[in-house]
Amino acid sequence: MSETNGSLLSIDSGTPMPPIASARFAIGDVVRHRLLDFRGVIFDVDPVFANSDEWYDSIPVDMRPAKDQPFYHLLAENADSTYIAYVSQQNLVADDSDEPVDHPGISGLFDSFDAGRYQLKPNHRH
């Protein structure tokens, strides 16, 4: 890629590429959904939407997020269960409760919980 007049250009075609939003959250951060009642710890980040069209189309139109933003994979919990969630950046806020997330998958990926965030195990770091 090259940059011309502040726009990124594709090396292949010279066509301007859309800007990519910066991720606000990192692996190990504890977050809450902005609209729904669940929270979780981030274990992966996609720079833009990378799930199936079927999944995306199942979201009600009035709640459907833009695809050109980071999407986060969460080990999530609510009052009833634990699960894996895939959430757009626009629908997440930092969780300031300083409480750990109660999800069985955490011990496989993370070592400890300190100052409101989880530390990734060394064997999962790049």
Which residues lie closer than 8 Å to 26 by C-beta, 6 or more apart? Answer: 42, 45
In the predicted model, what is the mean pLDDT of the chain? Answer: 88
What pLDDT does 2 receive? 43
pLDDT of residue 1: 43
| pLDDT score of 119 more than 80 | yes
Q: Enumerate domains of the chain plus CATH numbers.
A: 21-124 (2.30.30.390)
Give the number of other CB atoms < 10 A from CB of residue 113: 17
Q: What does pTM read for this prediction?
A: 0.82
Q: What is the per-residue pLDDT for 6?
A: 46
Q: Sorting pLDDT into bands at 50, 70 and 90, what band is 123?
A: confident
